[in-house]
Structure 1
């Protein structure tokens, strides 16, 4: 990815968030800070794939107990972003993979206890997060130019064809934006529209009534 490269990326969210971003009522999205985030801390987008973003938003709305997002999604929607990237850690390139491995080896040499990625739940990549977080920290310590974004390709879901095809049903390219200033503008995906005042009011009430965070997990009956 060359400096100044423009890309279109899509974020699955609640319709309230989409409308607020496009209309200017909301200036930016919060960074995801989960210890299992695939590409480390940042705001997550699907590159060039609005349908994959909608699938994510719908899955989050259908499964609130899974806590796919910090904030609940009640009315699934997608917002597009035009991103201008000058400094990207691109994990689809040899340069990105080498830097990741160098930091991993530094952690091993220093005797740092390593987290593990969850083989039973590919969404939980704690080792990835640990290495990316350390990588950004090392660059800060050395006064290197910080990466504005991290980019990675992920095979997710059942394989298409056979397991050697390299394609999977939910495969995607994901980006984690670390510097909100590289987001040039927000837009509605093709054929979408902003909600009417009445629709916005109803969606706001539904979102306000939804439990937040750990409260979205179902209670376990005690015996």
Structure 2
């Protein structure tokens, strides 16, 4: 009853400039990510209302060995979340918890291993390789589909990075991330303006 989120949010996608220009000029579309370690399962990923974090991501990704980013760039999107699996909403948190228990039962029955979240390399304390979380979100989608429900988007908050001061539980890369499964949720794309002040 309360799952639909008709209000729009701004999403920011860090990527290569040439690819961004192709999307902006309707020569290409955003690509769905479907890696087994994606934090929110399949979909097109955006940083919700966080241009700077998208920019940081593009700069970080450019340094990775298999990157497609030659010139870091940020593309903005106007997004309607519609029927959203929102992990900031208690009933969806409970549903994903249920999906996890159902997935574990299914894997145990079939003698298959339970995926785990792990790091990329030895210094990744944020466990960016989220194979368990990805599998659970995918299982949640499968359960919903059996009940005749299809989610258009997934939304979650992530605590990430280093403490912003000694003893803090606020971290310097905290963010809300979106995974958009239904391309019709993306109502428009735009070139973000550079802010004229810090706040």
RMSD of aligned Cα (Å): 1.8
CA–CA distance in 1 between the matches of 2:85 and 2:166?
A: 31
1:96 aligns with 2:92: yes
Of Structure 1 and Structure 2, the greater strand share is in: 2
Displacement after TM superposition at 1:2 (Å): 5.0
CA–CA distance in 1 between the matches of 2:17 and 2:161?
A: 26
**Post-superposition CA distance 1:17-62 (Å, at most 9, x none):** 2212222222x21110110000001110000011100111111112
Which of 159, 162, 175 is matched with 1:158 structurally?
162
Aligned equivalent of 1:10: 12
Aligned equivalent of 1:115: 115
Aligned residue for 2:34, secondary structure, equals coil
Aligned equivalent of 1:74: 70
Displacement after TM superposition at 1:9 (Å): 0.5
Gaps of at least 5 residues in structure 2 are: none
Gaps of at least 5 residues in structure 1 are: 193-223
CA–CA distance in 1 between the matches of 2:117 and 2:61?
A: 21
Aligned equivalent of 1:128: 133
**Post-superposition CA distance 1:97-149 (Å, at most 9, x none):** 101100111122332531001156321111000101111112222222x1100
Aligned equivalent of 1:201: none
1:178 aligns with 2:178: no
CA–CA distance in 2 between the matches of 1:108 and 1:61?
A: 36
Aligned equivalent of 2:63: 62
**1:182-197 → structure 2 map (5 Å cutoff):** 182-191=185-194
Aligned equivalent of 1:141: 146
Aligned equivalent of 1:203: none
Of Structure 1 and Structure 2, the greater helix share is in: 1
Distance 1:161 1:191, change over 3 A: closer
Aligned equivalent of 1:105: 101
Aligned residue for 1:4, secondary structure, equals strand
Displacement after TM superposition at 1:93 (Å): 1.9
Question: Max radius of gyration: which structure?
Answer: 1
Aligned residue for 2:19, secondary structure, equals helix
Aligned equivalent of 1:41: 42
CA–CA distance in 1 between the matches of 2:27 and 2:141?
A: 31
CA–CA distance in 1 between the matches of 2:104 and 2:18?
A: 44
Q: What is the TM-score of this pair, normalised by structure 1?
A: 0.77
Aligned residue for 1:85, secondary structure, equals strand
Distance 1:30 1:86, change over 3 A: same
Which of 168, 171, 186 is matched with 2:171 structurally?
168
Aligned residue for 2:188, secondary structure, equals strand
Displacement after TM superposition at 1:167 (Å): 1.0
Higher mean alpha-carbon deviation, 105-114 vs 34-43, is at 105-114
Aligned equivalent of 2:27: 25
